[in-house]
Amino acid sequence: MQCFANKIAVVTGGGRGIGQEIARMLAAGGAKVAVVSRSEASCGKVAEDINAVYPSAATAYAVDVADHAAVLELAKKIGEELGPVNILVNNAGVTRDGLLMRMKEDDWDTVLDTNLKGAFNTVKAFMRVLMKAEDPRIINIASVIGLIGNAGQTNYSASKAGLIGFTKAVARELAGRAVTCNAVAPGFITTDMTDELPQTIKDAVIGKIPLGSFGETRDIAEVVAFLASPAARYITGQVIAVDGGMTM
Ligand code: NDP
């Protein structure tokens, strides 16, 4: 499936987990992909692995998405090095879990700055280019926790609920320029983020998933690839839960 031939994609948080899988799938479809993560080591390794299979498809950029000026600089650099971007995937995200009673201000700020302001920063930085692009797409990786909340994750729930509101408002603002903006809300997916959970919590979560297991990174990447494809041109402002039926 070469439906991303001649397309330029940016995937934030592409250094591991879900973002890595999204970057690989877009590259498999023929896109040139900017793999963005905090550390040079993780995005560099992912780009190297992708290029070993799809030569010259991936370029690594180590940037903190919470840093507004750095993201503006990133957009300039990607424009010069890869060309005008068609697909922006806001996937970078962090957790700093804890009950609200004990949550530190820094835990709140770090999560909101990365998960929500990070998307504001990238959309601001790439929107002018997207508005002139062919099949322009913005895809935000939210979470079912942004839909249903979770004790111990007030910061994360607020960031993801905010990202869903942001998605719908951006979809309305940019619809006139044919830029679609959608959110994917994963349930529990096997990655470093969920590996941190104690086994007792994992067992309790699985009990609430009708399909009976955690999802795989590929389950999310497949939906992102569809939303990024020309086939999804008439879908905007939507939140697609990919959660094994958890929130039905
Ligand atoms: P991981 O923790 O496995 O990977 C997160 C990636 O985001 C890493 O590459 C990391 O960079 C990057 N990142 C984190 N902060 C920043 C930042 N400030 N600037 C740039 N890059 C950053 O996460 P997952 O793959 O599990 O999650 C990906 C997305 O999916 C997140 O938004 C998460 O909230 C969401 N999600 C995940 C679920 C799950 O069950 N796993 C469920 C629901 C939503 P580095 O490699 O350099 O550390």
The reply to whether ligand 1 has any atom less than 6 angstroms from the CB of 64 is: yes
More confident residue, 2 or 14: 14
pLDDT at 60 over 80: yes
Rounded to an integer, what distance in angstroms lies between the CA atom of residue 85 and that of residue 95?
28
Give CA separation, 211 vs 208, 230, 233, 243, 246, in Å.
9, 30, 29, 9, 8
pLDDT of residue 170: 99
At residue 184, the pLDDT reads 99
For residue 116 and ligand 1, the question of a CB distance below 6 A is answered with no
Report pLDDT for 208. Answer: 95
* Contact 38 CB / ligand 1 (< 6 Å): yes
Among the ranges given (166-170, 197-201, 229-233, 243-247), the one the predictor scored with the smallest mean pLDDT? 197-201
Per-residue pLDDT band at 82 (split at 50, 70, 90):
very high
pLDDT at 196: 87
Q: Say which residue, 32 or 201, is predicted with more confidence.
A: 32
Angle at 93 between CA 92 and CA 97, to 5 degrees: 170
Element (H, E) at 28: helix 17-28
Q: Catalytic site residue 234?
A: no
Residue 205 Cα to ligand 1 midpoint, Å, equals: 20
Alpha carbon of 31 to those of 5, 80, 87, 130, 221: distances in Å?
Answer: 5, 16, 9, 15, 14
Ligand 1 site-directed mutation target among 64, 65, 193, 223, most atoms within 8 Å of CB:
193
| pLDDT band, very low/low/confident/very high, at 71 (cuts 50, 70, 90) | very high
| Nearest ligand 1 atom, CA 188 | 40
Give me the chain's average pLDDT, please.
Answer: 97
Q: Is the pLDDT of residue 1 over 60?
A: no
Proportion of the chain above pLDDT 70, given as a percent: 100
121 lines ligand 1 (CB under 6 A): no
Catalytic residue (one of 54, 61, 156, 234): 156
Per-residue confidence (pLDDT) for residue 226, from 0 to 100: 98
The phi, psi pair for 89, rounded to 5°, reads: -115, 110
- Residue 157 near ligand 1, beta carbon < 6 Å: no
The percentage of the chain sitting over the pLDDT mark of 90, rounded to a whole number, equals 97
